[in-house]
């Protein structure tokens, strides 16, 4: 196989994703000598002033780009989106317990106050509340939300997990590819959290907007909404105030693998004491996944990969410099790229079948099958081989579902999307 240069390819891989070349060039120099210090960025202590400045700038730039309100904190963590499947459960169950304790005990709701342990009647009422009312709601619309719900059931027991919507029930084959109508969702009355994955990377399903049934009420109350935005963050404007927690891995639209970002409402940070949670037979989050601890330490409770934060910070500065209107500018480009690719697929129905329903097609992960000639396996092999010759790489679908997947992340240029659309059209007619 002939060697390829970076400029020869357009990489549509689902993640780790393509990074801007100028960001990589600057990061490479920083690995050797950061800001004339004689040490590379990966060699500086995470406790140094250099590290603190990198963290604070990245957080400030992310807040500016997404218009994150002041009553939210931005945490830089590790363990990826899968780690957050556990972290959201363990932190928000603690928040729910604090609320219920306040209702039952009528106390000042102090997280570390263990006087309740000496009030057996009230503690029994709290235990009964946990046993009968603790629920976590999940909207299962793809592989990742399915895994998130399974992790909650593993940690708490299936009796505490409510599958409020399951897209697999919409077709006889039991496959993902649509989002159940909100009128059919069976949401709990007082869930510790309602989780959904805003963009399902494997299945190509994206919520077209924030679900109206989860919107805050006029008095400011409403469900505790958690969204996994690992694969579409920074690509469109989001109503941050509608969410209690938004989390995402950096390796799609923000940076390199190794950093997980959590945007969390500050009012949800306080946690019950360990003694209370043990008395209720509820699990505690590992200290490195406890939001309150990470927030108090400015994301430096343990050793954070400052290099990966630095890369994310460079990406954010490039986005802010490119789009004076911030995320709205990127959203316009993202939509246009997706429209080009889907238009090419829709124009050739005899050669292609887009997997998800048209109403929920992802702008980020465009999943389709090549049906030209009737032999799908042979057609898809030929498609991938032809694309590779043109430098269009990373198009093979996830191993669990097969097919073709074009991941249209922010770093895919408009020209790259046009090139793929042109190939889709030409392959159909060949």
Q: Which CATH architecture has domain 57-310?
A: 3-Layer(aba) Sandwich (3.40)
Digits of tens for pLDDT over the chain (430 positions)? 678 899 999 999 999 999 999 999 999 999 999 999 999 999 999 999 999 999 999 999 999 999 999 999 999 999 999 999 999 999 999 999 999 999 998 864 455 567 667 888 999 999 999 999 999 999 999 999 999 999 999 999 999 999 999 999 998 889 999 999 999 999 999 999 999 999 999 999 999 999 999 999 888 789 999 999 999 999 999 999 999 999 999 999 999 999 999 999 999 999 999 999 999 999 999 999 999 999 999 999 999 999 999 999 999 999 999 999 999 999 999 999 999 999 999 999 999 999 999 999 999 999 999 999 999 999 999 999 999 999 999 999 999 999 999 999 999 999 999 999 999 999 999 9
Domains of the chain, by residue range, sit at 57-310, 325-429
Q: What is the pTM of this model?
A: 0.96
Confidence at residue 159, expressed as pLDDT on a 0 to 100 scale: 98
Instruction: Kindly report the CATH class assigned to 325-429.
Output: alpha beta
Q: How confident is the model at residue 3, as a pLDDT?
A: 80
The string of pLDDT tens digits covering residues 249-307 is 999 999 999 999 999 999 999 999 999 999 999 999 999 999 999 999 999 999 999 99
H, E, C per residue of the chain: CCCCCHHHCEECCCCCCCCCHHHHHHHHHHHHCCCCCCCCCCCCCCCCHHHHHHHHHHHHHHHHHHCCCCCEEEEEECCHHHHHHHHHHHHHHHHHHHHHHHHHHCCCCCCCCCHHHHCHHHHHHHHHHHHHHCCEEEEECCHHHHHHHHHHHHHHCHHHEEEEEEHHHHCCCCCCCCCCCHHHCCCCCCCCEEEEECEECCCCEECCCCCHHHCCCCCCCCCCEEEECCCCCCCCCCCHHHCCEEEEECCCCCCCCCCEEEEEEHHHCCCCCHHHHHHCCCCCCCHHHCHHHHHHCCCCCCCCCHHHHHHHHHHHHHHHHHCCCCHHHHHHHHHHHHHHHHHHHHCCCCCEEECCCHHHECCCEEEEEECCCCCHHHHHHHHHHHHHHCCEECCECCCCCCCEEEECCCCCCHHHHHHHHHHHHHHHHC
pLDDT digits (tens, 9 = 90+) for 74-92: 999 999 999 999 999 999 9
């Amino acid at each position: 196989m002939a060697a390829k240069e970076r400029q020869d390819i357009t990489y549509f891989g689902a993640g780790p994703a393509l990074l801007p070349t100028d960001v990589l060039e600057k990061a490479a120099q920083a690995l050797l000598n950061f800001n004339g210090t004689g040490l590379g960025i990966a060699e500086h202590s995470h406790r140094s002033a250099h590290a603190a400045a990198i963290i604070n700038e990245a957080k400030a730039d992310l807040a500016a780009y997404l218009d994150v309100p002041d009553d939210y904190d931005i945490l830089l963590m590790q363990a990826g989106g899968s780690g957050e499947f556990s972290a959201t459960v363990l932190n928000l169950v603690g928040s729910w317990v604090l609320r219920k304790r306040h209702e039952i005990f009528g106390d000042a709701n102090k997280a570390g106050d263990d006087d309740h342990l000496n009030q057996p009647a009230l503690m029994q009422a709290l235990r009964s509340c946990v046993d009968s009312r603790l629920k976590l709601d999940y909207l299962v619309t793809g592989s990742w939300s399915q895994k998130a719900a399974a992790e909650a059931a593993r940690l708490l027991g299936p009796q505490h997990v409510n599958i409020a919507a399951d897209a697999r029930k919409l077709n006889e084959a039991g496959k993902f590819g649509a989002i159940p109508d909100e009128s059919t969702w069976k949401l709990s009355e007082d869930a510790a959290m309602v989780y959904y994955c805003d963009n399902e990377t494997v299945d190509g399903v994206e919520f077209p907007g924030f679900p109206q049934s989860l919107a805050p009420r006029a008095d400011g109350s409403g469900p505790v909404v958690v969204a996994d935005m690992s694969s579409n963050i920074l690509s469109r404007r989001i109503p941050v105030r509608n969410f209690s927690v938004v989390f995402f891995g950096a390796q799609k639209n923000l940076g390199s693998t190794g950093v997980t970002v959590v945007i969390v409402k500050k009012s949800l940070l306080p946690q019950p004491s360990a003694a209370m949670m043990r008395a209720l037979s509820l699990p505690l989050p590992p200290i490195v996944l406890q939001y309150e601890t990470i927030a108090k330490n400015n994301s430096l409770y343990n050793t954070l990969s400052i290099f990966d934060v630095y890369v994310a910070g460079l990406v954010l500065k490039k986005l802010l410099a490119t789009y004076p209107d911030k995320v709205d500018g990127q959203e316009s480009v993202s939509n246009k790229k997706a429209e080009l690719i889907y238009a090419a697929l829709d124009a050739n129905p005899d050669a292609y079948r887009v997997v998800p329903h048209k109403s929920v097609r992802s702008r980020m992960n465009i999943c389709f099958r090549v049906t030209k000639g009737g032999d799908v396996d042979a057609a898809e092999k030929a498609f991938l081989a032809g694309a590779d010759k043109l430098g269009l790489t990373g198009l093979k679908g996830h191993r669990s579902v097969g097919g073709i997947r074009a991941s249209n992340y922010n770093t895919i240029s408009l020209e790259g999307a046009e090139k793929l659309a042109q190939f889709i059209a030409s392959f159909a007619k060949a």
